[in-house]
Amino acid sequence: MRARRRVVTLRETRPAAPRRPTIARRTASAPASGVERVPIAGPPVIRADTPVDLSIELGRGLVLPNPVLVASGTFGYGVEYGEVVEVERLGGICCKGTTLRPRIGNVTPRVTETPGGMLNSIGLQNPGVDAVVDRYTATWAGWRVPVIVNVAGESVSDYVEVVSRLDGVPGVAGIELNISCPNVGKGGMQFAIDADAAGSVTAAVRRMTDLPLLVKLSPNVADVRPIARAIADAGADALTAVNTLSGIAVAPSRTRPLLGNVYGGVSGPAIKPIALRVVYEVAQVVDIPIVGIGGVTELADVLDFLAVGAVAVQVGTAIFADPTLPVRLVDELTGACRARGLDSHRPLIGTALPRRTGASSAKGAEYRP
Amino acid sequence: MRLLGAELVESREILPGQFIQALHAPHLATGSRAGQFVHVRTGDLSGLVLRRPFSINTADPSSGTVTVHFRTVGRGTEWLTRLRPGDPVDVLGPLGRPFEVDARSRHLLLIAGGLGIAGVRMLVDEAIRDGRQVTLLFGAASARDVYPSSLLPDEVEYVVATDDGSLGHGGYVTELVPQYEAWADQGFACGPAPMLAALSRLAATRRQRLGVAKLGRKRGAGRPDQPGSAAARRKAFLQVSMEQNMGCAVGACLGCVVMGASGTPLRVCREGPVFAAEELDWEAGW
Ligand SMILES: Cc1cc2nc3c(=O)[nH]c(=O)nc-3n(C[C@H](O)[C@H](O)[C@H](O)COP(=O)(O)O)c2cc1C
Ligand code: FES
């Protein structure tokens, strides 16, 4: 066995974060609704300089220094924004989707703005896993921010091979499986829309590696819960949700679709309600940590994702307009915890979930007008 | 590259639907070169989620201002036209790689199609400052869209072509190029993709057609230069400034690529926006 690098929590003074996030239950004194959940029983006892511990464990020793990550495909390999962003203050970096062989990606145009968001069809352009290991992992190994490599493939063996080349490489803190890719072995049907395929690719990668394993859910499914369960049962350490929603735009000439690839993925504030719904549903059927993604642009969005059961969030599209947003959200979340008299953000997790997780999920969650 | 809190100094509609805006941003005014661009935030995140890229049109270090030149094409540019002097503008820049003029080049031929003028405008100033002779060929649909000569320095020779013949040469601006090819030491172009493709075909056959020697013995000889390297551009007869839809503008999202001659997509925001014409695959269609 090769020695594996572990990311160690920055705050040795505190006991390690619990493997499973504790879901805060409503108490009799807490308000039943509303976004502000300041405890009313007694004044906050936390002083302005009291440290707030935002660290969170995603499993297998992957401890994020804080719960604000940057989303795959929107932050390159962590180096592109240079001095504009203090990368070392991020909770984690998910790098661009990485495949076995280099990919040149889709024809242009690849991006366009849409109401409250954008469409992209990059087509997984990347230099291939070997080049990623060569060019970037040495830099990552020198950072205290964990870098999670987003992995894509066209077959189970592709995924396993890519992960095997990342396994044990210093600088690689974890794997995020992008399963929103066509499965060549199954007639091009995406892994992410089929519980069996999602489960088997997760299981195969799990057998290959002891690296922390995150699997990214697609929102383009009728019911995400059986898929999430299959992935959790197959041994994933955490789930990330969601990837982009399938969409198209029309060229100004109205003679063809705008994107070179016709189809693209919608991201940004427009998809936040959908992402929240997915996290809300998944949180009630799995007990591994969930990282919420989709339209985070301000602190309120972070708090919303935490409330529906996410232990952390990823910021994607919003970085393009405001590259300093993720780091600012870390500071704002610290402030929000202090204002509520909390020394960690963990009590904010799951506060909007139904009281008895699991059993009560039939009401409301099923209702789709 | 920095995130800058700039301030709108002036906004002028120079042609119907075309604006030149001056921004107070000393870091850009002193630290940018012709061909580079800025990524400007428009509106709030919930509505307009992407910044808008603009070539740096002119830079004036003494007043600490730069200008951008754009046409109102959508909600982002319309939002910009509603700004008033004194309003803050969030600018990321300077970005991308500039034009590279060979030290030995005396005669520069600049070719602009429509708003492409914004891509080469600053090079006019740089070249004249450096004592070079500049001819600017400008093409537009009709006289109505012709960039006002009053906005150009006196030293530049300004030649206009209009598609409908309402001003200057009647036809495409590329038809003017053969008259200047022998005179020019280097060419610099910005404009619609078909125009740039036509120019790159002209540039590729220029030496054979004119029988002219390359500048210097080593030019073009030996190993090809890295795509995006300053040397690759400096040695080229034709440099082009490319446009593409952008997300991040810093090289992170791969939204803005054009196909490189070697079969690898190149990022307009990072390896470009200025490329040597031979660095790109003009047949690929993207
Ligand atoms: C330009 C772009 C490229 C992306 N590339 C990837 C990718 O390679 N792999 C992946 O799993 N997700 C990718 N995504 C999806 C994002 O990681 C994220 O899931 C999605 O954008 C929703 O978050 P947001 O609304 O904050 O952007 C990409 C998104 C964008 C906008
Ligand atoms: S715009 Fe993102 S890589 Fe160029």
- Mind listing the pLDDT tens digit for each residue in B108-118? 999 999 999 99
Q: Tell me how crowded residue B106 is: count the other CB atoms within 10 A of its CB.
A: 13
For residues B81 and B112, membership in a common domain is answered with: no
The best mutation among A69, A70, A72 to test binding of ligand 1, ranked by most ligand atoms within 8 Å of the C-beta, falls on A72
Q: Is A181 a catalytic residue?
A: yes
Which residue numbers in chain A have pLDDT < 70?
Answer: 1-48, 356-369
CA separation for the pair A152, B59 (Å, rounded): 44
Quickly count: other Cβ atoms within 10 Å of residue B35's Cβ.
26
Least confident of A10-14, A193-197, B156-160, B215-219: A10-14
In this structure, is residue B257 part of a structural domain?
no
Instruction: Return d(Cα A78, Cα A85) in angstroms, integer.
Output: 9
Say which CATH number the domain at A108 has.
3.20.20.70
Nearest to A14 by CA among A51, A64, A61: A51
A49 inside domain: yes
Task: Please indicate, yes or no, whether residues B40 and B149 belong to a single structural domain of this protein.
Answer: no
Residues having CB within 6 Å of any atom of ligand 2: B 246-249, 251-256, 267, 269
Pocket perturbation via mutation, ligand 1, pick of A99, A180, A191, A244 by most ligand atoms within 8 A of CB:
A244
**Domain range spanning residue B28?**
2-95
Closest CA to A275 of A244, A249, A248: A244
pLDDT reported for residue B240: 98
Q: Say whether pLDDT at B225 is over 50.
A: yes
Looking at the structure of chain B, the number of domains it has is 2
CATH number at residue B25: 2.40.30.10
In B240-279, the residues whose Cβ lies within 8 Å of chain A are 244-258, 263-265, 270
Q: Is B114 in the same domain as B205? A: yes
Is the CB of residue B4 less than 8 Å away from at least one CB of chain A? Answer: no
Reported as a pLDDT band with limits 50, 70 and 90, residue B30 is very high
Of B191, B193, B256, residue with least CA distance to B50: B256
Provide the pairing of β-strand A213-217 with A238-241.
Answer: parallel
B72 in contact with A, Cβ within 8 Å? no
Tell me what the mean pLDDT of segment B23-50 comes to: 93
Task: Inspect the interface and report whether the beta carbons of A81 and B250 lie closer than 8 Å.
Answer: yes
Instruction: Look at residue B169 and tell me if it is in a domain.
Output: yes
* Domain presence at residue B179: yes
To the nearest whole Å, the CA of A235 is away from the closest chain B CA by: 31
Half-sphere exposure of A316 (CA within 13 A, CB side): 31
Which of B43, B67, B95 is where one domain is finished? B95
Measured CA to CA in angstroms, residue B139 lies from B70, B143, B145, B201, B211 at distances of 16, 10, 9, 18, 28
What angle is formed at CA B54 by the lines to CA B49 and CA B55, rounded to 5 degrees? 160
Over residues B186-192, the mean pLDDT reads: 97
Q: Which of B74, B95, B116 lies at the terminal end of a domain, its last residue?
A: B95
Residue B155 lies in a domain: yes
Q: Strand A264-267 and strand A290-293: pairing?
A: unpaired
Are residues B174 and B80 both part of a single domain?
no
Residue A103 lies in a domain: yes
> Using H for helix, E for strand and C for coil, what is the string for chain B?
CEEEEEEEEEEEEEECCEEEEEEECHHHHHHCCCCCEEEECCCCCCCCCCCEEEECCEEECCCCEEEEEEECCCHHHHHHHCCCCCCEEEEEEEECECCCCCCCCCEEEEEEEHHHHHHHHHHHHHHHHCCCEEEEEEEECCHHHCCCHHHCCCCCEEEEEECCCCCCEECCHHHHHHHHHCCCCEEEEECCHHHHHHHHHHHHHHHHHHCCCCCCCCCCCCCCCCCCCHHHHHCCCEEEECCCCCCCCCCCCCCCEEEECCCCEEECCCCCEEEEHHHECCCCCC
User: Which of B2, B40, B44, B45 is the best residue to mutate to test the A interface, defined by the most A CB atoms within 10 Å of its own CB?
Assistant: B45
Looking at the structure, tell me whether residues B131 and B198 fall in a common domain.
yes
Q: A60 lies in a domain?
A: yes
What per-residue confidence (pLDDT) applies to A86?
97
Residue B102 maps to a domain: no
CA distances from A63 to A213, A255, B197, B268 (A): 13, 50, 52, 37
CB count within 10 Å of CB A33 equals 6
Domain of residue A324: give its range: 22-355
Per-residue pLDDT at B166 exceeds 90: yes
Tell me how far apart the alpha carbons of residues A325 and A298 are, in angstroms, rounded to a whole number.
8
Quote the CA–CA distance of A25 and A263 in Å, as a whole number. Answer: 42
Q: Are B23 and B111 members of one domain?
A: no
Is A75 contained in some domain? yes
Between chain A and chain B, the number of residue pairs with CB atoms below 8 A apart is 111
Q: What's the token pair of residue A308?
A: 């529906």
- The answer to whether position B203 is within a domain reads yes
Same domain, B77 and B148: no
**Residue contact A110–B246, C-beta within 8 A:** no
Q: Is B40 on the interface with A (CB under 8 A)?
A: no
pLDDT of residue A42: 53
How remote is the C-alpha of A149 from its chain's centroid?
12
- Residues B69 and B153 grouped into a single domain: no
Cβ distance A319 to B248 less than 8 Å, yes or no, reads: yes
- How far does B163 lie from chain A, in Å, by closest CA? 21
**Which residue, among B250, B256, B269, B281, would best test binding to A if mutated, counting the most A CBs under 10 Å from its CB?**
B250
- B45 and A324 within 8 Å at the Cβ level: the answer is no
Q: Answer yes or no: are the C-beta atoms of B240 and B279 closer than 8 Å.
A: no
* Residue A1 belongs to some domain of the structure: no
Give me the pLDDT at residue A43, please: 52
Residue A103 vs residues A96, A146, A153, A296, B19: alpha-carbon distances, Å: 12, 25, 11, 29, 40
pLDDT of B23 > 80? The answer is: yes
- Whether residue A341 lies inside any domain: the answer is yes
What pLDDT is stored for residue A182 in this prediction? 79
The verdict on residue A220 lying in a domain is yes
The 10s digit of each residue's pLDDT in B133-145 is: 999 999 999 999 9
Integer Cα distance of B76 and B78 in angstroms: 5
CB neighbours of residue A44 within 10 Å: 14
Residue B217 lies in a domain: no
Q: Determine whether A48 is exposed, middle or buried from the number of CB atoms within 10 Å of its CB (0-12, 13-18, 19+).
A: exposed
Do B24 and B64 lie in one domain? The reply is yes
Residue B274 domain-assigned (yes or no)? no
Q: Which residues contact A26 (CB under 8 A, 6 or more apart)?
A: A32, A351, A355
CB A216, CB A177: distance < 8 Å: yes
Average pLDDT, chain B: 93
Name the pairing type of β-strands B88-95 and A147-151: unpaired
Same structural domain, B77 and B162: no
Angle of helix A272-283 relative to helix A299-307, nearest 10 degrees? 30
Half-sphere exposure of B229 (CA within 13 A, CB side): 8
**Contact partners, residue A1, CB within 8 Å, separation at least 6:** none
Cα–Cα distance for residue pair B278/A240, rounded to 1 Å: 43
In this predicted structure, what is the pLDDT of residue A362? 44
Tokens 């270090």 belong to B61
Between strands B18-24 and A213-217, the pairing is unpaired
Half-sphere exposure of residue A77, counting CA atoms within 13 Å on the CB side?
Answer: 20
Residues B79 and B129 occupy one common structural domain: no
Tally of structural domains, chain A: 1
**Percent of chain B whose pLDDT exceeds 90:** 87
pLDDT band at B206 (very low <50, low <70, confident <90, very high): confident
Residue A46's pLDDT is 56
Q: Is A82 part of the contact surface with chain B (CB cutoff 8 Å)?
A: yes
- Looking at the fold, whether B68 and B122 belong to one and the same domain comes out as no
pLDDT mean over B119-124: 98
Domain CATH code at residue B149: 3.40.50.80
